[in-house]
Amino acid sequence: MQKLLKNKLNLFSLLFLALIYSLCFFADFIAPYPANELHSKFGYSAPSKIYIDQGGLYSYQIDQKVDPKKLQKINIENKEKKFYLEFFKNNKILHINKDNNFFLLGTDSLGRDLFSRILYGARPSLTIGFISLIIAFPLGLLYGAISGFLGSWIDNLMMRLAEAIMSLPSFYLLIILSALLPASLSNFQRFALITFILSFISWASLARIIRGQVLAIKEKEFIESAKTIGLKEISIILKHLLPHTFSFVIIAATLSVPGFIIGETALSFLGLGINQPDPSWGNILAEGKELSNILTRPWLLWTPALLIFASVFSFNIIGDTLRDYFDPKIAKS
């Protein structure tokens, strides 16, 4: 494993994921504002500038005025109102007094701090992958192992069912099912149902691959020996067959998480997932897609977009690296 960490791209991916998940789980401590706190006078405020002098890091109060030519709000730093940033105060890494206005990544249309919403929005967007894995992978593993081990008409029937599920257009099915959810559902309930839908769609492909591996493993001598001494079929599957698929499962799990992240983000982006006012990277990104925001307020679009890209890219890099590491053919070359 040390050889894997020597690769700078692998190391960067691991460090980035460790950082982003740490920020996500400790958002209450790190975010300077609650996710939905409004600063109505500072809607569409640009990111605040940070300066440094002998006294430490500081910024200036922001006065917003309307540009008569462009007919849009502009930020003007009030050089007479300087304030120093306070750290590790009132259970916050960065404490902002109510009299000051400081927005590290700017604000959205309602004046909500984008940095805080990005941190809180990472929770549903990043955790959905692991929650879906907990549901989908045990089902796919057990289903594929039973199918491959029993064989005969049972294997044929189980695989036809898995193939029927695999043939469903997953993203369009996801949109249809999400659109059918009652509007009265809370965001937590919608999140739970989206997780269940994503898990239901993804288990079949894993089951098919596990079934292929089990077909090869079950012909080996130690499996025949287990049958000879009278072990029950379920014991053979759980204790002897499935452990030999774990290297593949680790790879598949790592490569599956990006799909879950993109699925949740896409649904929230389309307004079918986590809805406002609760944040997720998808609905934050949705506000930034407006042409006026792309041209004049790029921080609304590029911040969540880059984080989504970097997270998915990092998981793919780690998954590809693990596949190279565990694949005996590549290992010998």
Instruction: Select, from the ranges 52-66, 104-118, 198-212, 213-227, the one with the highest average predicted confidence (pLDDT).
Output: 104-118
Mean pLDDT of the chain: 82
CA 308 – CA 189 distance, rounded (Å): 23
CA 46 – CA 74 distance, rounded (Å): 8
DSSP single-letter state for residue 94 = E
pLDDT score at 19 = 92
% of the chain with per-residue pLDDT over 70: 92
74-130, pLDDT tens digit by residue?
777 888 888 888 888 888 888 888 778 888 888 888 889 999 999 999 988 888 888
10-54, pLDDT tens digit by residue?
888 889 999 999 998 899 999 989 988 888 788 888 888 888 888
CA 321 – CA 114 distance, rounded (Å): 34
149-194, pLDDT tens digit by residue?
888 888 889 888 888 888 877 667 777 776 777 777 788 887 888 7
pLDDT score at 310 = 92
DSSP single-letter state for residue 82 = E
Question: Are 128 and 261 in contact, with CB atoms under 8 Å apart?
Answer: yes
CA 45 – CA 74 distance, rounded (Å): 8
Matching residue, tokens 């789980």? 25
Q: Average pLDDT for residues 257-265, to the nearest whole number?
A: 85
CA 255 – CA 242 distance, rounded (Å): 19
pLDDT band at 332 (very low <50, low <70, confident <90, very high): very low
Does residue 315 have a pLDDT over 70? Answer: yes
Question: Are 198 and 260 in contact, with CB atoms under 8 Å apart?
Answer: yes
Domains and CATH numbers, the chain: 48-102 (no CATH), 115-332 (1.10.3720.10)
